[in-house]
Structure 1
Amino acid sequence: MPCGIKLVIEDYPYAADGLLIWSAIKDWLESYVEHFYSDPNSVTSDVELQSWWKEIRCKGHYYKRNEPWWPTLDNKQDLSGILTQCCCKLWTISLGRSVFLSSLPTQLQATKVMAVEDTHSPDEEYLGQVNPEYSRWINDHEILKLFNKFSARLEEIQEIRISA
């Protein structure tokens, strides 16, 4: 796999697809962080960023705040890794709806839930997409270029899934 992980069960499409998407998210966030944090000390000197990370650890996970496994936020690689984990966790959580629906006991009940759950907000955004109404807020052409590259990579992954 592009992210350097070998699957134990090679014929497991969900995991293979997930690793491809994880890799695309990781590459996008690394380029994004590199764009905004070009100076080697810029991550440690960003007071708001450091406060955000401290709040996640110390307030958001109060009972786990002293665990030794928390990553440090000392450089661009740390920041990219933390952001990748956050985004991939959110992406994985959003997939939970299909697991929920598959656990319903009857087709009728599943249909009722799908009728409610499958309604989408008109301004709903999907991974790799930006609502055109909000894209005008982004005036950094380099960031738009990086995001478009990420979107194109997700489209390539979608094609891989369809052809498999």
Structure 2
Amino acid sequence: WRFDREALPEDLISRGLAEEDPNAPYGLRLTIEDYPFASDGLVLWDILKQWVTNYVNHYYPQANLIECDEELQAWWSEIKNVGHGDKKDEPWWPELNTPNDLIGIVTTIIWVTSGHHAAVNFGQYSYAGYFPNRPTIARSKMPTEDPTDEEWEDFLNKPEEALLKCFPSQLQATKVIAVLDVLSNHSPDEEYIGTNIEPFWKDEPVINAAFEVFSGKLKELEGIIDARNADCNLKNRNGAGVMPYELLKPFSEPGITGKGVPYSISI
């Protein structure tokens, strides 16, 4: 784990899924253009970063204010030295000396606890609730792994029995399905990103206006994702047997919906 690679652009680059390209949208050229997590995620990342940029630049108009803010520096020190004490001496921790440093740090933290978490969490039931699609355990070896003559003959005669012996038992599968149901569920009082403004933000005209822009862009993202899911050229999110990719749609109804980006992780 490296904090500097938790930012979405750096994450994609480090995994060989994107390259820096100043002429490409968001400064990245995707290795796989039809990669829903990356393409939707970069839009959300940019929206988050713009919101954080407006906020930080309003309260820290001069660079030296960052270095002089003892409370802010203590916050960052605690994250590195206490929260991640096992990695406190790693050389890759970002410095916190300028507004741009703070923008990068805060955007990364917000992304991890909102978009990234939503993408890896709220689709679990949809993708793995039908356990043959993603069995959580194999109870027997593959039939081709050093079979006896009898085992191989049984497999050729009744392959479905070999498959059922390999799959989780009914009890094992039921337990996992129940857990995935809980993890993928949105509560009725879930707070989604960009929906509720803090009272003191509303009292500050510049921040209130920035939040309105932020909230509006999130609504635009909903439409962008809907349009992409309707594009028959995007085979990883459209077509027979292919689930539309909605995990980074910002808003959702209660229940298991496979969409919705809450502002934090509650587990």
Q: TM-score, normalised by structure 1?
A: 0.86
Number of residue pairs aligned between Structure 1 and Structure 2: 160
Higher Cα radius of gyration: 2
Question: Contact conserved, 2:55 with 2:210, CA < 8 A, in 1?
Answer: yes
Indicate the structure with greater helix content: 1
The reply to whether residue 103 of structure 1 matches residue 167 of structure 2 is no
Give the deviation of 1:40 after TM superposition: 2.2
- Tell me how far apart the structure 2 counterparts of residues 117 and 8 of structure 1 sit (CA, whole Å): 29
What residue in structure 1 maps to residue 21 of structure 2?
none
Q: How does 1:25-104 map to 2 (within 5 A)?
A: 25-91=48-114, 92-101=116-125, 102-104=127-129
- Tell me how far apart the structure 1 counterparts of residues 52 and 43 of structure 2 sit (CA, whole Å): 14
- Tell me how far apart the structure 1 counterparts of residues 31 and 222 of structure 2 sit (CA, whole Å): 23
Give the deviation of 1:106 after TM superposition: 6.8
Match of 2:205 among 121, 124, 141: 141
What residue in structure 1 maps to residue 35 of structure 2?
12
Specify the code of the residue in structure 1 equivalent to 2:120.
G
Cα RMSD (Å) = 2.3
Secondary structure, in 3 states, of the residue corresponding to 2:191? Answer: coil
Instruction: Report 1 or 2 for greater relative contact order, CA contacts < 8 Å, sequence distance ≥ 6.
Output: 1
- Tell me how far apart the structure 2 counterparts of residues 70 and 53 of structure 1 sit (CA, whole Å): 10
Secondary structure, in 3 states, of the residue corresponding to 1:6? Answer: strand
User: Are the structure 2 counterparts of residues 21 and 112 from structure 1 closer, same or farther at C-alpha, using a change threshold of 3 Å?
Assistant: same
- Tell me how far apart the structure 1 counterparts of residues 93 and 100 of structure 2 sit (CA, whole Å): 14
User: Are the structure 2 counterparts of residues 96 and 48 from structure 1 closer, same or farther at C-alpha, using a change threshold of 3 Å?
Assistant: same
Q: TM-score, normalised by structure 2?
A: 0.55
The reply to whether residue 151 of structure 1 matches residue 176 of structure 2 is no
User: Are the structure 2 counterparts of residues 66 and 135 from structure 1 closer, same or farther at C-alpha, using a change threshold of 3 Å?
Assistant: closer
Question: Contact conserved, 2:124 with 2:184, CA < 8 A, in 1?
Answer: no
